Structure 1
Amino acid sequence: MQLDWIQWPAFASSLAAAYLVGSNVRTRRNKGFWIFLLSNILWVAWAIPSRAWALIALQVCLAVLNIRGLLKTEP
């Protein structure tokens, strides 16, 4: 499949975001939520041609939670 490579940046960005969201520093947490949103987009881009509907649903739900996290970390 042409988009198989997308899963690796999605994987890496998910790990980086999880690391940053666990920070005690507000700006790092904020960056983590933005990176999580990027990973949500990447996972959906990979999942659509793969017809991974549960993964798409999961990423949409996680994106909503990431937006909530962003709103809570904004000054």
Structure 2
Amino acid sequence: MNDLIDALQWPAMAITLVAAWLVGSLSRRKRTWGFWCFVLSNVVWVAWGWHDHAWALIALQVGLFLFNLRGVFKNDDAPAG
């Protein structure tokens, strides 16, 4: 089980990169998907950080989670593009 949790850092990193790519899109729909991918990456990073007792990483992910939720809702209010 420890090996599985240790391996979470790789999908978390990949999801974060995909999210960053999508958030940079001109398409509102892709940006929304990007913010939701960031939210997923926050959850996966917290799971990995909890296992490794990486409390600063967990605190960072909680803060970024709140910013990403803000991005989801502010993006929904943006003019279509």
Q: TM-score, normalised by structure 1?
A: 0.96
- The 5 Å alignment of 1:1-75 reads 1-2=2-3, 3-74=5-76
Q: TM-score, normalised by structure 2?
A: 0.89
Q: Secondary structure at the match of 2:73?
A: helix
Q: Secondary structure at the match of 1:24?
A: coil
Point out where structure 2 has 5 or more consecutive residues left out of the alignment: none
CA–CA distance in structure 1, aligned partners of residues 48 and 72 of structure 2: 24
**Where does structure 1 differ by over 6 angstroms across 4 or more consecutive aligned residues?**
none
CA–CA distance in structure 2, aligned partners of residues 45 and 69 of structure 1: 22
Point out where structure 1 has 5 or more consecutive residues left out of the alignment: none
For residues 19-75 of structure 1, give each alpha carbon's deviation from its aligned partner in whole angstroms, at most 9, with x where no partner exists: 000111000000000000000000000000100000000000000000000001125
CA–CA distance in structure 1, aligned partners of residues 11 and 50 of structure 2: 16
CA RMSD of aligned residues (A): 0.9
How many residues get paired? Answer: 75
- Aligned residue identity for 1:16: V
